[in-house]
Structure 1
């Protein structure tokens, strides 16, 4: 699904390199979390995938094709929901279809209502975003991301601004959505527990410049419950990951 092939990148010729011949692959239908110290370049991966940045060398491919020739190949959900306050919730969710074009107004309304229903917001389409709770806003933002039509979703710390209990419920909700839709998800987080709960595989940024990402399988299947985080092998892996991040942050 997604491949980095010997990608090199730095923000400025006088700045240090962020990536140096970085290669990794994400398979179709995987849920993969990326963790690493602050400032290590995790979000740069997303900016290269969605063409906000261009590699200095190497290739970024989706389904075997270089992204330069592709359109509408990924959906991106940032840390903040970025819902426009002057649009209703439904109008916010319709935005990707308006940008892409090719839809009638009736088609956009129907698809937006279906997306809102899928995230439990059927009765909130005509509301203003300011009337929604933090978790509801993130669900609306996720519905908008899904309506890009892509099978590849990039989620950049989407729950970090939420309170603890809301984060817990949103993690469970997101896994339900992923198991239903079978999208390919690349999820950035600073939270080791969140990575362990959500992902089948964790990619650890161990150094800058990034020359490789350490790939670690999470020893738990799906559907997944919070109780599994208390299993000895998960607790041991959690401690290992924390020690890696502490070491890499020095």
Structure 2
């Protein structure tokens, strides 16, 4: 990962933000401290941020990474234990609140990023705003990044999504009430457009590659070809070769289907 990251950073140029996110909790990765140390010292990397639910963080871990990480975006969508368990499953609000306070008191910046799910945590949003401001989140970056719930084909379903117009209207109301910016844009994080990495595949192309590991979804495997990973729908086992058709290359995410 560090080798490939180095290639991307060199291509993008100086002032890169490395954001660690994933289909699960990034801190499940057993070599995270080593990776963060090496990545943060890479020429061209200016900011290192991580999306985390905070459940695996401790005072010891926070101390171990605070010299390498610029900001942690903490997923905290409710301060009520019952509501939090409905939204997150096994979850301890008390533990995550303690982690939030430790992050805010560390060298790292803290951004609390709740997902606003209509009918579930509407009353929790103002409480979360007050909590973020109370503990000193957002030393350099915004203290909050409130996200609109959008149903996703492979994600959890939790009722209907709020219309964008209403979502931003209500955020603007909270901005006035609490005196904090909640409608965020690229400029709040120093983001700018830069050239996109070219994709070595085209849609409709037939490819033969080796299966290297299981994929995220049932019936999905990860293959590697031309220096890229490809999510392929196949029953082939790890180590076997599979022939597939590239069906999507959107945003550099390559998806194939066995033919």
TM-score under structure 2 length normalisation = 0.32
Structure showing the higher helix proportion among its residues: 1
Task: Answer 1 or 2: higher relative contact order, Cα 8 Å, separation at least 6.
Answer: 1
Q: Which has the larger radius of gyration?
A: 2
TM-score under structure 1 length normalisation = 0.33
